[in-house]
Amino acid sequence: MPRPTNVQGDSWGIDATTGDILRLIEADPDSLKPEDFSGYLGYCTTGGDDDLRFLFPPLLRIWASALYERDSWFTQYFHEEVCRTDFVERALSPTLKEAACAFMVRALSERIGSEEALSVNGVSTSHDWFGCLASFGVFTTAMPALWSGIWESEQRGHAVALLQYLSCLIYEDSNPIFAPWTCNKGGGSPVLWRFDSVGFNEAWKQENVAYLTTALTTERISDWLVRASALHQGSKIAELANSFLDELATGARAVDERIGLLLIALQTPSGVGGFTWDTLRAAAANPKG
């Protein structure tokens, strides 16, 4: 890809200047670090398709590493940029989009597959992947590839992550994996519809919502729990899967309702509906309020 030469930076010097952007373009891409992009990502929220397209490979490399960090500023700024501008879907050629999405699906799947915790007390890195997943549905249409790969996986880490996710759907209160929020440690159940960056009004791509409408049902959840229990027999995963099945047997209607609310929330601009099931119910009941 040819280096762009006609770039326009921030003339006020608050974010990346034209010189800053040109230095990023001329740098060895393998040498670039997160801090090198701190001003650039802030600037690119108002433009910069050509240079962002050129710099996207090192940005993706850094993003893949930052996925493992707790409350990473880089992932938040990166997600905000690609969500606001719809960069992946709008500005990449079909070939570049296919390559970028394949890389991101693999990187995020590997990150989610690194989960180990089936008991979380306080805020932790286990909370972070939820926001990354929610944001991924905003800036790409590749959610089906990511979602199906994780649900069909036999890896222990993917099973742990799915139990974490399903615990937030099956249990509205008394989550068996995530301890309640406290003022000292934070934590609590992750919010499934909360993106990990703020300040934009975009929502999930309709292709992703349509896919999740059929991919996330009580029947599919039950089938996966049965398979996980058998695959990980004798482990904590199997114990929790069986417990979830018992809860689902008596609470399927409530889980159906929460799935419906989640689908509504993912189609709604970030922040609308609040951060609890009750506030989401209220927003869904009064959408113009």
Q: pLDDT: is 287 or 80 the higher one?
A: 80
* pLDDT tens, position by position, 219-241: 999 999 999 999 999 999 999 99
Spans of all domains in the chain: 15-92, 120-285
Q: State the Cα torsion 98-199-275-289 to the nearest 10°.
A: -110
Q: Would you call 145 helix, strand, or coil by DSSP?
A: helix
- Which has the closest alpha carbon to 282: 267, 266, 265? 265
pTM: 0.93
Q: Which of 79-93, 189-203, 265-279 has the highest mean pLDDT?
A: 79-93
One-letter amino acid for residue 14 of the chain: I
pLDDT of res. 123: 92
pLDDT of res. 68: 98
Residue 18: Cβ within 10 Å count: 15
pLDDT of res. 46: 46
pLDDT of res. 276: 87
Q: pLDDT: is 197 or 122 the higher one?
A: 122
Q: pLDDT: is 116 or 285 the higher one?
A: 116
Mean pLDDT across 67-93? 92
Least confident of 65-69, 71-75, 241-245, 270-274: 270-274
pLDDT for 288 beyond 90: no
Mean pLDDT computed over every residue of the chain: 91
* pLDDT tens, position by position, 7-54: 877 766 567 888 888 999 999 999 999 999 988 886 555 447 899 999
* pLDDT tens, position by position, 273-283: 577 899 889 88
Give the list of residues 6+ apart from residue 142 with CB closer than 8 angstroms, or none: 101, 104, 105, 136
* pLDDT tens, position by position, 149-199: 999 999 999 999 999 999 999 999 899 999 999 988 899 999 999 887 665
Handedness of CA 172, 173, 176, 180 (dihedral sign): positive
